[in-house]
Structure 1
Amino acid sequence: MNTSSNDFFKDQVLGHPAGLFVLFFTEMWERFSYYGMRAILVIFLISTFDKGGWEWTTERAMGLYGTYTMGVYLTPVLGGLLADKLLGYRWAVIIGAFIMTLGHAAMALETELFLYIGLGCLIIGNGLFKPNMTSMISHLYKDHPEKKDGAYSIFYMGVNAGAFLGIMLCGYIGEKVSWSLGFGLAGIFMFFGMLQFYFTQNIFGQVGLSPTNKSLIKTDEVDHTPSNIIRDRMIVVFIFSIFTVFFWAAFEQAGGSMTIFAEKYTQRILEGNAGFSFKIIDAVLTILPLGIITYVLAKLFSKTFAKYSLGNIILSLSFIIIWGIVIWKVNREFTATETEVPATWFGILNSLFIIIFAPMFSKLWESKYNLPGAIKFGLGLILLGLGFGFLAFGAQSIVSGEDFVRVSMVWLVLAYLFHTLGELCLSPVGLSYVSKLVPAKWIGVMFGIYYLFIAMGNKLAGSMGGMIEKIANEYSLSTFFLIFTIVPIGMGILISALNPIIKKLMHGVR
């Protein structure tokens, strides 16, 4: 089947090609599996034997967490090359998804050997899957560049919808029912995502089917700027990359030390009106997003079911299962005599705040109030540091080893809010500036290098997060979070001060 670009844009769903939503749901289930597993990994490893955990030290658990998150940012470089030279984007996505499914299945067995095998599979599978999903969009929209921003916005919503549902459901089942089921649930939906993509892939025509070395860049788009200007712009990319390391080293505490803080030191048992109010809020936060996504699914069915019935049936089955789990969860919580907020629940706040605030930031960056790149980076780091400042303040009354001292959930909510605002200032901006500053023919390589710096930040996050008990014992838990307050704020001020130099080196790029 050979579908032209115009054919791809023929069937519309909510103003976008139906094929985009095939990618949307595939990515959604992959992010469901990734964030669902990540939410419970560290807390499972450090939990006591009587709670089904392995009683690892925090340092060992965070070290493994850092190595894993570093790996998932390193392998996409190789995955992209394999797709370009050998597999094609589609087969890279399918094989990657299958390997990740095997990884989740291995982790569900709960033995140390299969834990390492599982994480290895997830790292390799992610490397094949992640870069080639976004490459599919680039190729599908190459003749419609004016529609790319909207396409990536829709795709990004799929990312956050998957992260939101994965953390909420895998976290809940892992903590309150069974760790194995939590890990297994992540794998089940990764498998569904792979199947629905495989059986609906003809909607993309020939795009992504065969490997290609052809560049998407037209000859008139190649940068013919003199080399010394090119050099200056590359220096700016290097500067941004260094500051990115500091950002992610702190931000990725979300999967480690912040979850530990939630589990050990946050008051999560609610009584009376507070408990009932949380049950209502939790039910709404669970059902409403799923209802909206189901509506999108119904729209997709109306356009694609006749041609791609098997892929649609598989996708509908996944939603029937997810609705069953959601109804069971909500009913279980409303009939429970005690309201205990899962420690992993706070992880959903990042995705929730992104969905709420991303449109506002997008409009801000397109308005006359748009800020220079260095100032955006600085603001992102400062907001991140302020988020940890709330945790440092809230942890003042906590004495290491005395788990009976628990503080309000408000501190974690505020921390996640400021961290998300910081992420919106820095993360998408960094990627945007790499694409603007680097000559067109070098973009692929420089994105790989940029992700290398992010990988370094993730590894540092694990190493530094593993020091939480040591610092808390020698000084205090508040001191631990104060380090993550002072360093990002200091780096934010520094890069903001460098703005005049950076602006000069950018040679007119805005």
Structure 2
Amino acid sequence: MSSQNNPDFFQSKVLGHPSGLFVLFFTEMWERFSFYGMRVLLVLYLSASIIGTNPGLGWDIKSATALYGTYVMLLYITPVFGGILADKYLGSWKSVIIGAIIMTIGHASMAIESNVTFFIGLACLVIGTGFFKPNMPSILGEMYKDFPEKKDGGYTIFYMGVNAGAFFGMLLCGYFAERFGWHWGFGLAGIFMLLGTIQFWLSKPLFKTIGDLKKQTPEDEEKEVFNHPDEKIRNPFRFKDIVIIILVSIFGLLFAFNDPISKHMPEYDLFKFMDITYGEGNTIRGQYIIVILTLITFLYLIVTRINRYGKVVRDRMFSIIILACALVFFFMCFEQGASSLMIVARDYTNRVMEGNAAFAFNIANSLLTIVPLLFISWVLVRLAKQTFKVISASNITLLICFALIWAAAIVMLRTDWTTNAYKATYKAVEVPDIDKKTNLQRTDKDGNLLFKTEPIGLLDSMQTDYKVLDITSTVGSKQEFKVGQTVFIHPESGGKVALLTAEQKSKLAHDYSEHKENRNLITQATISQELKGQVEIPTTWFSTINALFIIMLASLISKIWDSKFNPPAAMKYGYGLIFVAIGFLVIGLGSMGMSTTAKLSLFWLVAIYFFHTVGELFISPVGLSYISKLVPARMMAFMYGIWYLAIAIAQKLAATLGGQVEEIQKEHSLSYFFFLFTGIALFAALFVILLNPLIKRLMHGVK
């Protein structure tokens, strides 16, 4: 917004910045709370057993990650169209409101336990993000239009809001979903999305004309400043370009939807007629042939279009394309945090802590929750003091948000501090580990048949056919029990054993009957020991580490960019990819020699998130900055579209590869899976570092 439209805008300040920045800070915080809170649950919910104390959809890992990959891929494509609609017809302010409302409907739909509403919710989130995502930064940029010296600090504070929302969303939505039911997690995301939308809508009197539609006139285009004569060259889309774009879009979307559908229901594979079989039953799937041909066609479009520009602009745009290729490799590895690492945390990590370890974790988790909440609440009070007279209703809505988030945090911490822990002993049986798709017993890499241990259920007649074992597991409960007391337990996803309440036992019995299961795994057990304390770390807790490390390390890394040690763009990408490779190498070494029944220490997951966060800070903030420096303003929409498309492709690749974790672990080992990504990241790092001289030359002096 220009200072002439609102000369008093910078008179109302919080921490040296206009109050409006912190309205945007909290709006983005609640949106990111909802987005990451839902995102961290998606693969877990899809792959959770269909029968359990917290049942999911029962999909296999490949199908779950395929759907997740399609979902997140679309999240990076729709903002391209949302930005165009905002620029031409709606304006940024209306677009944010429309997007937030659609996303609220999406979260509410997912909170209803129904397959139909679940997928309606996903569709709403994709559409709503398209309107919301590109327009919040646009409002922020307009706000600082006449105050460029304040812009960097404003974006830094805004970025902190993004990470604060991601941190609390994953922490609280994840906790409530895993402890109390998936609909609690999805519902919590929806509540804060709704309240965040209301507080933003009610803050309009503070922003006045900021975010309103402003159409560019021919006179405005004539005023555009060009740094080089080549930038004046116009390059309208030709008929052939439009045809290619339409075909690429159609086949790209067909692949995106066909991938999860065909993996979950192979009979509906649209491209099965193109499958190529070779050797002993090996198959190249038709959908992968289609997507490769589509990508080649799209690359042809990009190259031929860029070649029509003058040499300087052409070279600079090619340098962006090279960096975009490196970005694909980065996100392909980094985004394992939302797919394979979630499965590793759930199924292969020791998340149960007892005694002093549980006490230490509860203290650390309490501090990590309360200290940031206290700081952000203090900012809220400062904002209310400055703006209450102008936007009182917006401030009241924010106060309600914070009352709810404090209540949710207190419930989480109180539950962990007061959970009782026991050892429960029960009878179990070794049963064949059956592959659901082939209906054959799995084997290890040496050809030995694999078995898994399951409790002997109440209606189980198999205990006489297989080896019977006495098993002791740690269980937690809010209820109190005595040693020798009889209880009932049930196996859950990730090897967890749940201690059942009478209500849960009754519901599980009904579910077994409804699904006509032959085996009822509700099992009688005996309390054999009472422990001092116990806490089971939620699977989703590990995802919060990334946001936490960003908040801790962002300012430190940014100081390097302001010093004489600031490396060129290609080297930043190379160093970032090296840190990603180190993260995979560390956890790969930590999982070496691990038996099928052993669990990873949680410190290996903390380590990989640390190194990956450092890598992210080297790469993520750099790309969009270089686009703004390298191309003229009228070309930015095209290049931003290419950039987001590269991220979308990377997200889909990441989820597809991450879906192989279970299969690779069974056929080889968990360390083998991590070492594969170590190699991919190192290859990409070497690729971009070796191309550094070429990239510098293509940039023609831009630093």
Report if the CA contact (8 A) 2:574-2:685 is conserved: yes
* Structure 1 stretches lacking a partner, 5+ long: none
Q: Which residue does the alignment assign to 1:134?
A: 137
> Which of the numbers 448, 454, 466 marks the counterpart of 2:641?
448
Query: Is 2:334 the counterpart of 1:333?
Result: no
Q: Which residue does the alignment assign to 1:43?
A: 44
1:407-446 per-residue CA deviation (whole Å, 9 max, x = no partner) reads 1111100000000000000111111111111122211221
Counterpart-to-counterpart distance in 1, 2:593 and 2:138: 49
Q: Structure 1 pair 217/244, CA: closer, same or farther in 2 (3 Å)?
A: farther
1:96-495 map, 5 Å: 96-213=99-216, 219=223, 221-226=225-230, 227-337=310-420, 338-399=534-595, 402=596, 404-495=597-688
Q: Structure 1 pair 217/295, CA: closer, same or farther in 2 (3 Å)?
A: farther
Counterpart-to-counterpart distance in 2, 1:120 and 1:358: 33
Report if the CA contact (8 A) 1:88-1:212 is conserved: no
CA RMSD of aligned residues (A): 1.5
Counterpart-to-counterpart distance in 1, 2:558 and 2:606: 23
Q: Which residue does the alignment assign to 1:56?
A: 59
Query: Is 2:207 the counterpart of 1:11?
Result: no
Report if the CA contact (8 A) 2:205-2:390 is conserved: no
Q: Structure 1 pair 163/321, CA: closer, same or farther in 2 (3 Å)?
A: same
Residue identity over aligned pairs, in percent, reads 49
Report how far residue 374 of structure 1 moved.
Answer: 0.6
Counterpart-to-counterpart distance in 1, 2:225 and 2:6: 21
Counterpart-to-counterpart distance in 1, 2:610 and 2:229: 41
Report if the CA contact (8 A) 2:167-2:547 is conserved: yes
* Structure 2 stretches lacking a partner, 5+ long: 231-309, 421-533
For the residue of structure 1 that corresponds to 2:567, the secondary structure is coil
Instruction: Give the number of aligned pairs.
Output: 506
Counterpart-to-counterpart distance in 2, 1:211 and 1:509: 30
Counterpart-to-counterpart distance in 2, 1:455 and 1:486: 22
Q: TM-score, normalised by structure 2?
A: 0.70
Counterpart-to-counterpart distance in 2, 1:220 and 1:120: 38
Residue type matched to 1:223 in 2? N
1:443-481 per-residue CA deviation (whole Å, 9 max, x = no partner) reads 122112101100000011111111112222222221111
Counterpart-to-counterpart distance in 1, 2:559 and 2:217: 34
Q: TM-score, normalised by structure 1?
A: 0.97
For the residue of structure 2 that corresponds to 1:396, the secondary structure is coil
Counterpart-to-counterpart distance in 1, 2:311 and 2:141: 30
1:499-510 map, 5 Å: 499-510=692-703
Report how far residue 300 of structure 1 moved.
Answer: 0.3
Report if the CA contact (8 A) 1:346-1:412 is conserved: yes
Segment drifting more, 468-477 vs 447-456:
468-477
Query: Whose Rg is larger?
Result: 2
Higher strand share: 2
Report how far residue 483 of structure 1 moved.
Answer: 1.1
1:363-417 per-residue CA deviation (whole Å, 9 max, x = no partner) reads 1101001101111000111111111112212222334xx3x31011111000000
Q: Structure 1 pair 443/5, CA: closer, same or farther in 2 (3 Å)?
A: farther
Counterpart-to-counterpart distance in 2, 1:72 and 1:320: 30
Report how far residue 5 of structure 1 moved.
Answer: 4.2
Residue type matched to 1:296 in 2? V
